[in-house]
Chain A
Amino acid sequence: KAGVTQTPRYLIKTRGQQVTLSCSPISGHRSVSWYQQTPGQGLQFLFEYFSETQRNKGNFPGRFSGRQFSNSRSEMNVSTLELGDSALYLCASRGSSGELFFGEGSRLTVL
Chain B
Amino acid sequence: DIQMTQSPSTLSASVGDRVTITCRASQSISSWLAWYQQKPGKAPKLLIYKASTLESGVPSKFSGSGYGTEFTLTISSLQPDDFVTYYCQQYNTNPWTFGQGTKVEIK
- Do A and B interact with each other, yes or no? no
Name A residues whose Cβ lies closer than 8 Å to a Cβ of B. none
